[in-house]
Amino acid sequence: MTTKKGRKISGGKYIKSRKKKLNERAGQKRTVKLGVEKRKNLRVTGGNTKTFLLKGQFVNVGKKKIEIKNVLETPSNRFLARQNVLTKGTIVDTELGKVKITNRPSQEPIINGILVK
């Protein structure tokens, strides 16, 4: 016996008790690309604001602000490196050498990283 999606074993429908609230809905997928700095503000629960990056050009290594030359590799998805997308764990090329991004730029307005030997 096969069961249909959204149906009880008896054949009746499952009815939602309510719709999703605005803060429970999924937002748009945010991808941070390599380019001239571009930020956006978003209103979140409680009337607070969240600032996030859309494009990033500099990475903070220690107390230095260094320009990103190129995206070398992204361990989570190799196709993101081809599109110059910056995510946590991405290895980028700078004047100091290879730098690994340690934060999530899609959630924060800056990019932090550490040098990779």
**Hey, where are the domains in the chain?**
30-115
pLDDT, tens digit, 9 for 90 and up, residues 80-112: 999 999 999 999 999 999 999 999 999 999 999
Average pLDDT, the chain: 93
Q: Which two tokens stand for residue 32?
A: 């941070």
Cα 28 to Cα 50: distance, rounded to the nearest angstrom: 14
**CATH code of domain 30-115:** 3.10.290.70
Q: Which of 63, 59, 56 is nearest to 95 (CA)?
A: 59
Q: Determine the pLDDT at residue 45.
A: 86
Could you tell me the pLDDT band of residue 1, with boundaries at 50, 70 and 90?
A: low
Question: Global pTM?
Answer: 0.78
Rounded to whole angstroms, how far apart are CA atoms 102 and 90? 8
